[in-house]
Structure 1
Amino acid sequence: MTMLSDRVDEGTVERPEIMIITGLSGAGRSTASNVVEDLGWFVIDNLPPTLISRVTELAFVPGSSVGRLALVVDVRGREFFSALLDTIHELRASEADLRVLFLDADDDVLVRRFEETRRRHPAADDAGVLAGIRNERDQLSELRGMADLIIDTSDLNVHELRERLVAVLQGDEGAQLRVEVVSFGFKRGTPRDADLLFDVRFLPNPHWVEELRPFTGRDAPVRDYVFGQPESGPFLEALKRLLDVVVPGYVQEGKRYLTIAIGCTGGKHRSVAISEEVAQHLQATTELSINVQHRDLGEE
């Protein structure tokens, strides 16, 4: 991509910024494209992947007013879609500062959204909405694995998704890697956007200790109980050693976002306590942006 390199050499921009917005139909691509446009990105929707290289070259020619380019790509590209993976590899090998945003959601949520809007699913053919969703999910599986940021919109309304995107993208300025430590309860499902997932249900459950049940993993009585178990110390030390290796590796590879999910049964006691401890360790040992989210805290 010679034009991208030429523009960098001329010093007009440090690195051309390109975002590819993709994901499952009904998961929030339109909302995402509106948000990034409001944040100052030049957005092109439904661009065939075979044209991405040419468009990016034209967008970043010397004298262009385009500073940030966002491209919305999905299965509407039909036969062109298979070219997207090669295009991403090419862009990452060039001088472009590329990020891939993938929007996901549970199948039942997507079915409900399509039923509410009465729109036809682009991958459904004559087999129905659910079959279309599954077909599309299969087509996008490899692309999902290449994404820099995956956002599960199953439990987010339009306004919450907008707030999440603004918080992530505005906080992305100059940051090497943003780490999200998420506690959750397995009985409400695992987070789809987790890069690393750890199960702490092997630890004794404070829920069955009557005097601890009203408290959470943020409270001292529960923390003392969880960390007082003989299994907790070795597990935490092993987890911290693993993260001491993995997190710098993600930084070295240029990953922008890392979601570490830690789950117990209900997401109230063990996972919360362990997540807080993991976040404190990362804050003490790195200079990265660390955020903690307790997904199911407060749920009954």
Structure 2
Amino acid sequence: MSARSTRFVAVTGLSGAGRRTAAHVLEDLGWYVVDNLPPTLLPDLLQTVREAGFDKLAVVLDVRTRSEFDEIPRAFEQLNTMGIWPQILFLEASDQVIVRRQEHVRRPHPLQGDGPLLDGVAREREMLAALRAAADMVIDTSNLNVHQLSSRVAHAFNTSDDRELRLTLMSFGFKNGVPIDADYVLDVRFLPNPHWVPELRPQTGLSKPVSGYVLGHDAAQEWLGHVQAMLTTVMPGYEREGKRLATVAIGCTGGKHRSTSMAEELAERLRRTGLGVHVVHRDLGLE
């Protein structure tokens, strides 16, 4: 097996954001997973994994390696010379959530020292900024449970072809904040709101009455056509540039009716073209 055929994913992000969960999912999917490896050992590890016949390697890289952390760019350059272009999965969450999770596990933050926990989180964000900017996929786990995070990771990496683009469509409500892990944010608040129809208000866009109401407007069909055309144009360019993971967020006011209906319909249209699509309804708490 050649090194070029080996897939490599770097799992990184904030302490408490779900790196361990992501690593376990990848392991369950058949990836060879190594946690907390000094970056300077990456080339040797890759060579060993290749000789052992593994074709999928995932390594958890984070600030626990301390002084070694700054060696990640150089290690990635060495991997490039071996024909490996790492994919980066970056996990993050809000400060409030990180603090709650760290206090729950009763373990000190690796960069906390003798100061407050939030100081350690701030230093970690600063150290990870370059990796986040270069990430192929960013997942904000603030409002995700373990099962939802596992679903997101599995969709992105449960494929035998690393050239295959994997698209996530996320419905959300603007009143609950814009997703920070989206590549595109689209607004469907221009459509009539089922919230003001008494019999539709308690339902969601997953119900036929609501989706029929939303999709029955000419503006909805026109919008779907334009967005599908845009994505059909963009996705091949992503593939040429080596981007394999993308998230498109579709928002309405509350994330319950319009955005949910439009995300589901757009997903069906894109799936008919052969594209792998995963739908997440952030503010319904559904994957």
Is the CA contact (8 Å cut-off) linking 1:180 and 1:293 kept in structure 2? yes
TM-score by length of 2: 0.84
Please list, as runs of the form range in 1=range in 2, the aligned pairs for 1:73-92 lying within 5 A after superposition: 73-92=61-80
What residue is the counterpart of 1:112 in the other structure? Answer: 100
Residues 1:26 and 2:16 are matched in the alignment? yes
Choose the corresponding residue for 1:100, options 88, 110, 113. Answer: 88
Query: How far 1:168 sits from its partner (Å)?
Result: 4.1
Q: Aligned to 1:193, which of 176, 181, 192?
A: 181
Partner of residue 295 from structure 1, selected from 262, 276, 282 = 282
Equivalent residue pairs, number: 285
Asked if structure 2 preserves the Cα contact closer than 8 Å seen for 1:17 and 1:98, the reply is yes
Q: Residue 258 of structure 1 corresponds to which residue in structure 2?
A: 246
- The letter for the 1-side match of 2:101 is R
Distance between the aligned counterparts of 2:92 and 2:252, measured in 1?
A: 23
Q: Following superposition of structure 1 onto structure 2, how do residues 1-300 of structure 1 map, counting pairs within 5 Å?
A: 8=2, 15-60=5-50, 63-92=51-80, 94-96=82-84, 98-162=86-150, 164-169=152-157, 171-174=158-161, 176-227=164-215, 231-232=219-220, 235-284=223-272, 286-297=273-284
Structure 1 residue runs of 5 or longer lacking an equivalent are 1-6
- Cα drift, residue 129 of structure 1: 1.4
Residue 214 of structure 1: CA displacement? 2.9
* Cα distance change of structure 1 residues 274 and 163 upon mapping to structure 2, 3 Å threshold: closer
Are the structure 2 counterparts of residues 67 and 75 from structure 1 closer, same or farther at C-alpha, using a change threshold of 3 Å?
same
Give the stretch that moved more between structures: 206-215 or 231-240.
Answer: 231-240
Correspondence for 1:3: none
Quick check: 1:16–1:97 contact (8 Å CA) kept in 2? no
- Tell me, what secondary structure is at the counterpart of 1:70? strand
Deviation at 1:143, TM superposition (A): 1.0
Separation (CA, whole Å) in 2 of partners of 1:160 and 1:272: 17
Distance 1:31 1:188 in 2: 25
**SS at 2:5 equivalent:** coil
Percent identity, aligned pairs only? 47
In 2, Cα distance between equivalents of 1:76 and 1:298: 32
Once the two structures are TM-superposed, the CA of residue 160 in structure 1 deviates from its matched residue by 4.7
CA–CA separation in structure 2 for the residues paired with 1:252 and 1:65: 28
* CA distance 1:89–1:203, shift in 2 (3 Å): farther
Deviations 1:140-180 (A, max 9, x none): 222123222333322334455445544543x3223601212
DSSP 3-state at the match of 2:238: helix
Runs ≥4 in structure 1, deviation > 6 angstroms? Answer: none
Q: Cα RMSD (Å) of the superposition?
A: 2.9
Shift of residue 218, structure 1, vs aligned partner: 3.7
- Compute the displacement of 1:238 (Å): 3.4
Report the Cα distance in structure 1 between the residues aligned to 2:229 and 2:78, rounded to whole angstroms: 34
| Unmatched tracts of structure 2, length 5 or more | none
* Equivalent-residue separation in structure 1 for 2:220 and 2:123 (angstroms): 42
Compared with structure 1, are the counterparts of its residues 230 and 89 closer, same or farther at alpha carbon in structure 2 (3 Å cutoff)? farther
Are residues 91 and 198 of structure 1, via their aligned partners in 2, closer, same or farther at CA, if it must alter by over 3 Å? farther
Q: Residue deviations 1:255-298, cap 9 Å, x none?
A: 232221111121111101221232133223x3221222223237
The answer (yes or no) to whether the contact 2:4–2:84 under 8 Å persists in 1 is no
Q: Aligned AA for 1:269?
A: H
**Aligned residue identity for 1:172:** T
- Structure 1 pair 92/237, CA: closer, same or farther in 2 (3 Å)? farther
